[in-house]
Amino acid sequence: MNAILIIAMMAVIGAIIGGVTNHLAIKMLFRPHEAKYIGNWRVPFTPGLIPKRRDELARQFGRIVVDYLLTPDTFRNKLFTPAVREKAEVVIGRLIGKHVFGGDKTLSDWLDMAGMRDADAKIESVALRLVDAKFEEAKVRLLTGTVAERVPARWMEEAEEKLPEIRRYILSRAMEYVNSAEGRQTIRKMLDDFLESRGTFGGMLQSLFGSSETLVDKIQREGLKFLAAPGTARLLDGLIEGEYEKLKNRPVEELIGGFDWAGLKEAVLGYVRKELAAGERLDRTLADYWQDGEAWVARNVTPALTDFAFSQAEAKMEEALGRLKIDQMVKEQVDSFPVSRLEDLVLGISRREFKMITVLGAVLGGLIGIFQGILSLLIN
């Protein structure tokens, strides 16, 4: 009976020791939270293991997250899939359609958002300065040099080819006029004026040649003969060619230098200002100018934009994660946790397992106690 009691007591004592020891060991993982001192002497095993190794633990947590949890491959497998890309393209297209083409923002509003205030006035100013500069440039170019230098060579060649036609036209019109009633009347009037201006000599001429009608007929016939003569054609060709050569060598400024250039420029600038109407044109939405723009962008721009964004994001993934310094972020977060909160977090996950460790310590202690009791009785 005494042997059984001794074995039982030793089993109980062993179980208590084993359970309490394991329980204390678990508690000493977190407790005490801070180091304890007696004077300047720090009490051993304070603080607990995890508080004491907190910095190293936080650093290891960070490395685990970076090396095994939030790796570049993890993000690639989750973010850069065809399904995600398709959804992103749909979202981008919807946003562009809603805010760019479907909104009521005018071109002026978009330019204001981009930082370009008073865009209509600036556009008009730039356009008018450009037109003014080009007008002055064209004026200087036009007034510098001779007609032959300023007029295109092709025009000069075509004009030179037209000279015989001009001569034929002049002669034909002159013959038509001389042979017409109006021409006859003009000849009569000129003849009468001439004879009257000569007084007695004019009367003698009139008596010599007969009536004025006879003289008119003769002058008219001779005039037609003169106009139809080959020599007249050659003479007129020479005169026209000579005047044409003089015209080619004349400075352009002599011909049009007195033109009202200031008035012409003001008229051109006024026309440009009126037709430009920058303020009115900018006070419209993008959809007013580009009705099928949303469909075109969805078909041509959105897929390319999505592909570019995904390719750039994937190419820069490792660099971006490196710049984020996720391990440092995790370390800082773990360092900022109160030890009590970290203890609650760990125990909340493993409380049952820790209890089983305590129970296992008690069971092992009890078994060791029984073994010791039996061994002690056998030795005695």
Q: Are residues 242 and 330 in the same domain?
A: no
Report the candidate in 119, 150, 156, 60 with the shortest Cα–Cα distance to residue 284.
119
Model's pTM, two decimal places? 0.48
The answer to the question of residue 112 being in a domain is no
Q: Which of 250, 274, 303 is the last residue of a domain?
A: 250
3-state helix, strand, coil in the chain (%, to 5): 80, 0, 15
If one counts every other C-beta atom within 10 angstroms of the C-beta of residue 143, the result is: 17
- 217 inside domain: yes
Residue 158 inside a domain? The answer is: yes
* Tally of domains in the chain: 2
Is the same domain home to 246 and 151? Answer: yes
- Name the stretches of the chain with pLDDT < 50: 201-202, 208, 210
Does any domain span residue 228? yes
Q: Same structural domain for residues 63 and 151?
A: no
The Cα 252–Cα 265 span in angstroms is: 19
User: Domain boundary at 224, 250, 276, which?
Assistant: 250
CA distances in angstroms from 27 to 16, 78, 297, 360, listed in the order given: 16, 40, 65, 16
Residue 292 lies in a domain: no
160 and 65 within one domain: no
Answer whether residue 130 is part of any domain.
no
| Angstrom distance (rounded) from CA 223 to CA 166 | 20
Which residues span the domain enclosing 345? 2-77+319-379
In the DSSP assignment, the letter for residue 106 is B
| Residue 259 exposure: Cα atoms within 13 Å on the Cβ side | 12
Say whether both 229 and 323 belong to one domain: no
- pLDDT for position 156: 81
- Residue 64 included in any domain: yes
Pick from 203, 232, 250: which residue ends a domain?
A: 250
Q: What residue type is assigned to position 145 of the chain?
A: G
Report yes or no on 243 lying in a domain.
yes
Are both 154 and 245 inside the same structural domain?
yes
Position 208 scores a pLDDT of 47
